[in-house]
Structure 1
Amino acid sequence: MRALTTEEFDPFIEGLDYPVFVVTASSGEEADGCLVGFATQASIDPPRLLVCLSVANRTFRVAQGTEFLAVHVLAADQHGLAEHFGGETGDEVDKLAGVPWHPGPDGVPLLDDLPRYVVGRVLSRTPFGDHVGHLLEPVSESVDSSEQALTLQDADDITAGHPA
């Protein structure tokens, strides 16, 4: 039996809705962030989060040299911030310039305008085709769950800053 093509698989995914996130990373003098649509809880006990970064993304390259990643939840009214982190490429612009943030563990950028986040220690990295999964062990968090999360359907009009 052959694997489905992207075109054949797309109808299954069409219309599914789940949160999008901004993932930030810092390694040495480099720091970056990107919009991520592939993230999920991977274990209840112990808690684990799986975040997948596109291999074409500068944030992916920065993340390869770091022990920690921060995963931020966008509020439903933060489409502009989603567009900034998803529609620009870190290869051309400094996506953290002009965005208020402060350093977290090991310097990972924590975005001030996204107060709901978790910082995770990277336990493993697994290639999944055009994305690499980063299995995270949560080590700190900030939770402001009063806002609805921005979802994939809310952000489907954003043109990626680089090809997938």
Structure 2
Amino acid sequence: MFVVTAVDPGTGARAGCLVGFATQTSIEPFRFLVCLSRRNRTYRVARAATVLAVHVLDEEQRELAALFGERTGDEVDKFARCSWRPGPEDVPLLTDARRHLVGRVLERTELGDHIGFLLDPVDVRAGAGTAPLTFRSLPAMEPGHESG
């Protein structure tokens, strides 16, 4: 599981959400694809974003996963409830996430009820961590927005 964060460079609006659809798409050049539901606020902010940050959560970060998976930025300022710092182009970087990838958005592709954002990495932090949080290790959650 990943948390994707974005900032709209025109308005400064920040957003972030828990995502399960993400994958490496190319070795040379390295490319990464992350998919955002059209229904959530992060997608609406990411439409104008030039970069996105993809954070790898560790198993002990279930509360952070719940914050970004169960709460919607339409109702709650998630960044007031966690520790973060501005990264490249002011994209929010979660300071508790030991691993992240910040990528320049190269393409946006319609993929059913999600939009795929193809990223060209510009900043990668691969710090040591515990086992990554996976879909199977997540507790039951009620999403901030319906999927699809």
TM-score range, shorter chain: over 0.9
Q: Deviations over 1:77-106 (max 9, x none)?
A: 111110110000111111111211111111
How many residue pairs end up in the alignment? Answer: 145
Q: Following the alignment from structure 2 to structure 1, what is the Cα–Cα distance between the partners of residues 129 and 76?
A: 32
Residue 61 of structure 1 aligns to a residue in which SS?
Answer: helix
Moved more, 118-127 or 93-102: 93-102
Q: Which has the larger radius of gyration?
A: 1
User: Displacement, 1:52?
Assistant: 0.1
Partner residue in 2 for 1:75: 58
| Aligned match for 1:55, one of 17, 35, 38 | 38
Partner residue in 2 for 1:66: 49
Question: What amino acid maps onto 2:6 in structure 1?
Answer: A
CA contact (8 A) 1:79 1:154 kept: no
TM-score, normalised by the number of residues in structure 1: 0.86
Q: Pairwise CA RMSD of aligned residues? A: 0.9
Residue 80 of structure 2 aligns to a residue in which SS?
Answer: coil
Structure 1 unmatched ranges of 5 or more: 1-19
Q: Following the alignment from structure 1 to structure 2, what is the Cα–Cα distance between the partners of residues 66 and 103?
A: 14
Partner residue in 1 for 2:15: 32
User: Displacement, 1:114?
Assistant: 0.5
Structure with more strand by fraction: 2
Residue 15 of structure 2 aligns to a residue in which SS?
Answer: strand
CA contact (8 A) 1:55 1:132 kept: yes
Residue 69 of structure 2 aligns to a residue in which SS?
Answer: helix
User: Displacement, 1:154?
Assistant: 1.3
TM-score, normalised by the number of residues in structure 2: 0.95
4+ runs of 1 displaced by more than 3 Å? none
Structure 2 unmatched ranges of 5 or more: none
Please list, as runs of the form range in 1=range in 2, the aligned pairs for 1:12-23 lying within 5 A after superposition: 20-23=1-4
Q: Deviations over 1:41-61 (max 9, x none)?
A: 000110000000000010000
